[in-house]
Amino acid sequence: MNLGDDLTFGCLGLLIIILLFVIIKMIWNRCQGRDELDGFF
């Protein structure tokens, strides 16, 4: 493993975490009865 591979996996991990956060927020808003993206974050 060289530095390039570590940076690539780090970026992929960060992207996956952001995607998971967005999906959880969408599901949470839907459970709260808000389908629009107002106050998304």
Residue 17: per-residue pLDDT: 97
Please, are residues 40 and 25 in contact by the beta-carbon 8 Å criterion? yes
pLDDT at 36: 57
> Given pLDDT bands bounded at 50, 70 and 90, which one contains residue 31?
confident
Q: What are the pLDDT digits (tens) for 2-26? A: 778 888 999 999 999 999 999 998 8
Checking if the pLDDT of 39 tops 60, the result is no
Write the CB contacts of 37 (distance below 8 Å, at least 6 apart in sequence): 29
- pTM to 2 decimals? 0.57
Mean pLDDT, range 22-38, rounded to an integer: 77
